[in-house]
Amino acid sequence: MDKRGDQAGDFNVAGLAFLGGNAQEVFDNFPVDRILAAYNKHLGKDGEPAELIGAEAGLKATNEEQIKTIYKALVEEVEKELKALEEKVGSDPKGQFYAGKYKAEDAIKQLKAVVEYLKTKSGLDAAPAAPEGEANKEEEKPAEGDNQMEGGDEAEGEKKEGEEEAAVDPGAGENKMEAEAPKDPNQYDGIEDYEGWENFGGAILRQAITNESFFDLLRAHAVSSEFNVEKFNPGPLTGACALLSTLADKAETEKKDYWLSGWVTQEYLDSLNDAVKDGSHIHFPWLVAGWKTKEEALADLHFPEPQKKENYVSVAFNVTQAKAFDFAKIRVISQRLRGKVTAADKSDDTFVFNLAAEDLDVQTVAAWLAAKAAPVTPEEKPAEGDKPAEEEKPAEGEKPAEGDGAAAAE
């Protein structure tokens, strides 16, 4: 695994971590998200990973017992992360960060909001109803800073819909693309609720979109399974990631044009520049969450910005003709986005790339493994003793017939 694989667990990079762009991390066309295959193996199943999760169109789950298992593991992990974060920052979280991206006090609010929403809406928990004012908590936006816990499996809280984002940190304007402070595009008033166990996947995605830190938590875990195929260890987040992978795949109903944006390291930027030069492909595992307009995508780069901006560069992708679906009114979701980086430009301090999406091959994992295991057949050679007849030579003094070795004689 190269350095980019290590960096995929960084919450500042997790949202756009991709495979491809250099020889070390070329996508091998595996038929499903590896997080889904890992969950399949973790459960001791030997069937096709794509058939593991009971799901149908509309982000609907069909296996209640399966959802109960995923729910329990996810909620317990978020609660564990919340407790660890509170102990880490103590009674005065001000000035402290979570994952180098989110303010600690905001992250704590987010984690609490995620747990409350999932418990209240899923109907899977015997806990009492959420306290009065929970509706407002759901609308909270994610904090700007956080210190990621070891392992990259940190849960984050949820953005509260309609609540104004905290002001950008003093000094963050040094790398702003525009003189005026951009308006936070993360406005989620009145978006759809997802209630009941069959809608639990939609509830998770709702929290991930309205809480960017929660999305980072999940995607960092999912992407790590792609960079660490042999060494990856499934954990409490694996089931939730596998569920979203399956549901998103079934929800992609049409091809769309949209924008992606985020922060990456120099290693990722170098890979993108190589992809442009070589005309090669890149692959975004699991889910990516885009915007309908370029203006929204560029504005979102500031909400939040990395704690140490000098270690990152901002990038945006103009994605065309990608399988996707709309979500939360203003977002666009793609699962397993693959495309060719055809051009690059720059908008102020942000590197802008064009990504022409391409469909992935549809096949089973069994067929993929069989093809990979098949020996490479060398160019067929004649059997021993079955040598081709030598070209008949003309008798001495006889000229070769026209077209019958004449060229060779010239």
Residue 135: inside a domain: yes
Q: Which amino acid is at 391?
A: E
Percent of the residues in the chain that have a pLDDT greater than 90, as a whole number: 66
**Total domains present in the chain:** 1
Report DSSP letters for 10-47, one per residue: SHHHHTT--EESSGGG-----SS-HHHHHHHHHTT--S
Residue 394: inside a domain: no
| CA-only gyration radius of the chain, Å | 26
Both tokens of residue 253? 């109903």
Residue 258: inside a domain: yes
Residues 6+ apart with CB under 8 A from 401: 394
Both tokens of residue 298? 């560029």
Q: Say what the pTM is.
A: 0.80
Residues 6+ apart with CB under 8 A from 136: 160, 163
pLDDT of residue 377: 66
Residue 247: inside a domain: yes
Task: Read off the pLDDT of each residue in 115-119 and give the average, rounded to a whole number.
Answer: 97
| Secondary structure class of 20 (helix, strand, coil) | strand
Residue 397: inside a domain: no
Residues 6+ apart with CB under 8 A from 278: none
Residue 377: inside a domain: no
Residues facing residue 160 across a β-bridge: 139
Residue 385: inside a domain: no
Confidence tier at 6 by pLDDT (50, 70, 90) = confident
Other CB atoms within 10 A of residue 6 CB:
16
Summarize pLDDT for 240-296 with one digit per residue, the tens: 999 999 999 999 989 999 999 999 999 999 999 999 998 889 999 999 999 999 999
Residue 141 to residues 22, 113, 151, Cα–Cα distance (Å): 36, 10, 24
Confidence tier at 379 by pLDDT (50, 70, 90) = low
Q: Containing domain of residue 87, as a range?
A: 3-368
C-alpha closest to that of 207 among 307, 112, 337: 112
Surface-to-core class of residue 342, CB atoms within 10 Å of its CB (0-12 exposed, 13-18 middle, 19+ buried): middle
Given a contact cutoff of 8 angstroms between Cβ atoms, the answer to whether 282 and 275 are in contact is yes
**pLDDT over 90 (residue 175):** no
Find the farthest-apart pair of alpha carbons in the chain and give their distance in angstroms, rounded: 110
Residue 405: inside a domain: no
The conformation of residue 311, written as its DSSP 8-state character, comes to G
